[in-house]
Amino acid sequence: MQELKSVYNKEELLNNAVELLKNLIEIPSFSKDEFNTSVEIEKFFMKHQVPTKRFKNNIWAVNKHFDVFKPSVLLNTHHDTVKPNKAYTLDPFVPVEKDGKLYGLGSNDAGASLVSMAQVFLHFYNKEDLQYNLVIALTAEEEISGFDGIEALFPQLPNIELAIVGEPTQMNLAIAEKGLLVIDGEMKGTPSHAAHPNDDNSIVKCMQDLQHILNFKFPKVSEYLGDVKITLSGIHAGVQHNVVPESCSFTLDVRVTDEYSNKEAFEIIQSQMKSTLTARSFRLNSSKIEMEHPFVQAGLEIGRTTYGSPTSSDQAIIPCTSVKIGPGDSRRSHTADEFIYISEIEEGIDIYIRILEKVL
């Protein structure tokens, strides 16, 4: 077993990252079934003489000179993936390196962030006299916002002052992120034979209710995230052409900004609708970090940009200040023949280190 180096050069870090990502791609790691990738992550850190801890399928570690009296910065991303879609032309579990790209399921979301963060952790692991401890947590169930991922692990971690969440952002800083509120609704009416008049048709009433809420504008607009976005993502009513159904059900996907909590957004929507509404959960709230935060300022100093992210991540359930940044492009996430550029991994390692050197 090799001895942990005090300093890794850029080439070593990149080679480590690519090798680890190839190993992870070869292992199916669907949400709730991440044990084998968690073992592979443990093996990586064991090889580099870094002790790790496990909670379910979550693997975490602290820097060598961890000081209980110091606050901590957390590096966090996930090792679960969605299932490959049917449009794949390549084997999703065979890593293919071609034309500067590495293909494979989870390579972009969020394998590149994971392997980059692992190298950054090695880079800082042996350093003494840091202002903050450095903690890494590579966690499960992000793709389903599960209860056994970072949410379950967080109470076991030391005092975390800032969480850096690895997701594909092209290494720019997502300083705000929309929350997710899923609402199931139902409009009741009077069932009848389709041949007879019916002024209480549940489908017609539901259409009117939905048209109103889809045109509704929330009064407060976020500086970074814009408007709250309501999308009708499902509707169901009726089983026979000649029967007016007693009810019409539907689902709304609501992307909530930092101007509202999910409960506040739900109450406003309910006040605007006649349908009976039920929220599946209020857990996944919007998040925001101030522009003046030292991490954001450090990123700006080296030429990174800031933006508000419309997609949700584990930020929604991390109970401290957080920022989302990682290699890759979110538009490639969950697509067929998913890939990451090798140069994006190299850039990710470099930018993480350059920002953290200003903060830690």
Say what the pLDDT of residue 169 is. 97
Say what the pLDDT of residue 7 is. 64
Q: At residue 3, does pLDDT exceed 90?
A: no
pLDDT tens per residue, range 111-124: 999 999 999 999 99
Kindly tell me the sign of the dihedral angle through the C-alpha atoms of 76, 288, 309, 178. positive
6 pLDDT tier (thresholds 50, 70, 90): low
Q: Is 82 exposed, middle or buried (0-12, 13-18, 19+ CB in 10 A)?
A: middle
State the pTM of this model: 0.91
Closest CA to 98 of 41, 24, 22, 27: 22
Say what the pLDDT of residue 311 is. 87
pLDDT tens per residue, range 297-339: 999 999 999 999 998 899 999 999 999 999 999 999 999 999 9
- The DSSP annotation for 218-243 comes to -S--BTTTBS-EEEEEEEE--SSTTE
> How many angstroms separate the CA atoms of 158 and 182, rounded?
32
pLDDT tens per residue, range 233-279: 999 999 999 999 999 999 999 999 999 999 999 999 999 999 999 99
Q: At residue 2, does pLDDT exceed 50?
A: no
Contact 226, 258 (CB under 8 A): no
pLDDT tens per residue, range 129-162: 999 999 999 999 999 999 999 999 999 999 999 9
Q: For residue 254, report the phi and psi dihedrals to the nearest 5 degrees.
A: -115, 120
Say what the pLDDT of residue 5 is. 57
> How many angstroms separate the CA atoms of 341 and 108, rounded?
9
pLDDT tens per residue, range 167-192: 999 999 999 999 999 999 999 999 99
- Mean pLDDT within 189-200: 95
98 pLDDT tier (thresholds 50, 70, 90): very high
Q: What is the rounded average pLDDT for all residues in the chain?
A: 96
Q: At residue 4, does pLDDT exceed 80?
A: no
CATH architecture of residue range(s) 179-279: 2-Layer Sandwich (3.30)
Sorted by where each begins, the domain ranges of the chain are 10-177+286-358, 179-279
CATH code assigned to 10-177+286-358 = 3.40.630.10
Say what the pLDDT of residue 69 is. 95
